[in-house]
A and B are shown apart, each in its own frame.
Chain A
Amino acid sequence: MCKTQRQTDPRTERTPHMHPLADQILIQRYHSGDREALERLLQRWNTEVLSLAYRLTANREDALDIRQQTFLKVYNALPAFRAESRFSTWLYRIVVNTCRDHLRSSETRDRAHDDALTPGAAVERTAPSQHDLCEQREAYRLVAHSIMALPAVEREIIVLRHYQQMPFTEIAVVVGSPVTTVKSRMMRALKRLRHDLATLTQDADDRAAGPGAAPGYKDDPHAMR
């Protein structure tokens, strides 16, 4: 079915246990009546689904809800799932769409993200001192806030690329936009993040630059706008 010499999927290489064939085998086994196959399928994707939902909502409780909704939709659709389709892409689309719905609903719109960004919401890293712990906590809050402050379309792309390590071509399918759009949104997101996170990169030039300017090269005709 592939028309070109497709390069090996870098994600497959990095995480060989997530090979698409395994999903197809599990689904087939489930169709043949192997009930354990369902649990194994959920197990394979449990962390990824939650991780994606968490970073799109910055709220662990919501992420758990979304995970459950996602798996329910998967379960309902399993009986007719075609083996030729890539399960992972389809699954990620469901997560992304479920998160979009969730973030649009009026309940969540009014809720401040601050409530959710408590230390318990994320895995604590051991720090040698209280000062470091406090700094770390601040750092992650700032990163999370900055990502949540992005427009939804940009946030999806940066989360999928950076945290889910998804290649741009796959992101394009998952979010339903051309690759060029994906990449330009990526750059816009990075510009905003560069500005918002300048205190963390400890770069005076980054901080001085606005979200759309190049650091220290305001008169440079080649500077990015």
Chain B
Amino acid sequence: MQCDDVIRLLPDMLYNEIDAQSREQVSEHLVTCASCWAEYESFKRTVQVLDQWPPTEAPADTAELARLLEGTASRPTPRHWILRRPVLSGLAAGLILFLGLLALNVHVSAHDGGLILSIGRRPVVATTDANLLTQQATDNPDLIRYVDDRVEHSASLAGEALVEYIHDWTVAQEQRQLELFTLMNQLRQQDVGQVTMRLNALEETGILARQPGSSVKNPSMPYGQPDRQRTMPDWQPGRVVIDNHVYQAVYNEQTGQFELQKLTFQEDSEMYQ
């Protein structure tokens, strides 16, 4: 084992995440290599010193907290909005995604420089493309303010980072779709490496299903202009639409990673294969 390999494995060594065989090889190297040994020992000392910052004690108030939380359950009256925000010039990706809660079927598609997210039959989307700016009532007006607030402070962030902000306001169903939305952004930027990494990470957390779920026929959906009707493809987990192409996340046994396969529309069956 070379010095470079040992240095690369230092985090694994320091935190005991190294497999037995590698550990043995590293140890053998450390016995003979003074400089690597010195590095390792000095980092070990540093790590030990970190323990000199003790934790802060957690209050034993969880019963109270639980009661407080249940007391906050409220039903704000739905309101209709039009989001009137000037174009966020800082956003390179040019997209802001806005989600409502309580989604049943969430569909994401790219369309002419904007992105449409629809929940069930209702398009719920905010983009910098004025033509696509629509926004509908949600059960959580705080989310709107939250988005606005984030927009104020985060105009310089790229699309994915902004999505991260909104991310933790979503329920698990939307969480999956948001991740796919981020993937789409990455695809647009042709960052295939990131895509496979992200899909892998999704699989680790169980967000992205390897097996397609049941197929759901989606009704046609008007966008901003009522004359443009379009049939949505069958929606299944792991399936995204980008620039009128449908992609399916497929697990590759050999590489151990997910890949996005482009599907083709079968005219006769009116389904994507």
Cβ of A167 within 8 Å of any chain B Cβ, yes or no, is yes
User: Chain B binding site: helix, strand, loop or mixed by DSSP?
Assistant: helix
- B216 touches A (CB below 8 Å): no
A144 to chain B, nearest CB (A): 5
How far, in whole Å, are A42 and B194 apart by their CA atoms in the complex? 34
A70-96 interface with B by 8 A CB criterion: 71-73, 75-77, 79-82, 84-86, 89-90, 93-94
Contact of A183 among B11, B54, B60, B210 (CB under 8 A): B11
Given A123-B56, A190-B46, decide whether A79 and B171 contact each other with a Cβ distance below 8 A: yes
Establish whether residues B206 and A144, one from each chain, have CB atoms under 8 Å apart when the complex forms. Answer: no
Determine the distance from Cα of A172 to Cα of B209 in the docked complex, in whole angstroms: 19
- Mark interface residues in B163-203 (1 if CB within 8 Å of A CB, else 0): 01101111111010000000000000000001001000101
Given A39-B63, A173-B204, A224-B39: A77 and B46 interface contact (C-beta under 8 Å): no
Known: A39-B62, A97-B164, A187-B11. Contact between A125 and B17, CB under 8 A? no
Residues on the B chain within 8 Å of A194, using CB: 42-43, 45-46
Tell whether, in the assembled complex, residue A10 and residue B16 are in contact, meaning their CB atoms are under 8 Å apart.
Answer: yes
Chain B residues in 8 Å Cβ range of A158:
50
Q: Report B-chain residues with C-beta under 8 Å of the C-beta of A10.
A: 16-17
B31 on the A face (CB < 8 A): no
Q: How far is the CA of A223 from the CA of B15 in the complex (A)?
A: 21
A223-B35 in contact (CB<8A): yes
Residues on B with beta carbons closer than 8 Å to the beta carbon of A68: 65
Is the beta-carbon distance between B53 and A144 smaller than 8 angstroms? yes
Residue B82 lies at the interface, judged by CB distance under 8 Å to chain A:
no
* Contact A162:B16 (CB < 8 A) given known A54-B55, A80-B173, A123-B56: no
Q: For A169, list chain B residues within 8 Å (CB).
A: 204
Cβ distance A21 to chain B, nearest Cβ, rounded Å:
13
Number of chain A residues whose Cβ lies closer than 8 Å to a Cβ of chain B: 83
Give the shortest distance, in Å, between A112 (CB) and chain B (any CB): 18
Which of B66-74, B88-96, B122-130, B265-273 lies at the interface with chain A?
B66-74
> 1/0 contact trace for A42-53 toward B, CB 8 Å?
110011001100
A130 on interface, CB distance cutoff 8 Å = no
Complex-state Cα separation, A168 to B9, whole angstroms: 12
Contacts of B55 in A (CB 8 A): 47, 51, 54-55, 122-123, 163
Contact B69 A72 (CB under 8 A): yes
Q: A residues within 8 A CB of B167?
A: 93, 97
Q: Would A85 and B197 be within 8 Å (CB), given that A93-B168, A140-B52, A222-B36 are in contact?
A: no
A198 to chain B, nearest CB (A): 9
Given the complex of chains A and B, what is the CA–CA distance between A54 and B57 in angstroms?
10
**Chain A binding site: helix, strand, loop or mixed by DSSP?**
helix
Would A38 and B3 count as touching, CB distance under 8 A?
no
Instruction: Indicate if B47 sits at the interface (CB-CB under 8 A).
Output: yes
Of A10, A43, A98, A168, chain B has the most CB atoms within 10 Å of the CB of A43
What residues on A are CB-neighbors of B66 within 8 Å?
35, 38-39, 42
Q: Is A31 an interface residue (CB 8 A)?
A: no
* B153 interface residue (CB < 8 Å to A): yes
Contact A3 B256 (CB under 8 A): yes
A149 within 8 Å of B (CB atoms): no
Query: Which of B45, B54, B70, B170 is within 8 Å of A201, CB to CB?
Result: B45
Asked if A214 and B168 sit within 8 Å, CB to CB, the answer is no
- Name A's B-contacting residues (CB within 8 A): 1, 3-4, 10, 35, 38-39, 42-43, 46-47, 50-51, 54-55, 60, 63-64, 68, 71-73, 75-77, 79-82, 84-86, 89-90, 93-94, 97-98, 101, 104-105, 121-123, 125, 136, 139-140, 143-144, 147, 158, 161-163, 167-170, 172-173, 176, 178, 183, 186-187, 190, 193-194, 197, 200-201, 203, 205-206, 214-217, 220, 222-224
Please give the residue numbers on chain B whose beta carbons come within 8 Å of chain A beta carbons, in ascending order: 3-4, 7-8, 10-12, 14-17, 33, 35-36, 38-39, 42-43, 45-50, 52-60, 62-63, 65-66, 69-70, 72, 101-102, 140, 150, 153-154, 164-165, 167-173, 175, 194, 197, 201, 203-207, 209-210, 251, 253, 256
Interface contacts beyond A73-B168, A73-B169, A93-B167: sample of 6 additional A-B pairs, CB < 8 Å, sorted by A: A51-B56, A85-B207, A86-B206, A168-B17, A206-B46, A214-B35
Sort A-B residue pairs by CB-CB distance and give the 8 closest, nearest first. Answer: A80-B171, A39-B66, A222-B3, A143-B53, A84-B206, A201-B45, A75-B69, A42-B62
User: Can you list 15 A-B contacts (CB < 8 A)?
Assistant: A1-B209, A4-B256, A46-B62, A81-B172, A84-B209, A90-B175, A121-B56, A140-B53, A162-B47, A168-B12, A168-B15, A169-B204, A214-B35, A214-B39, A215-B38
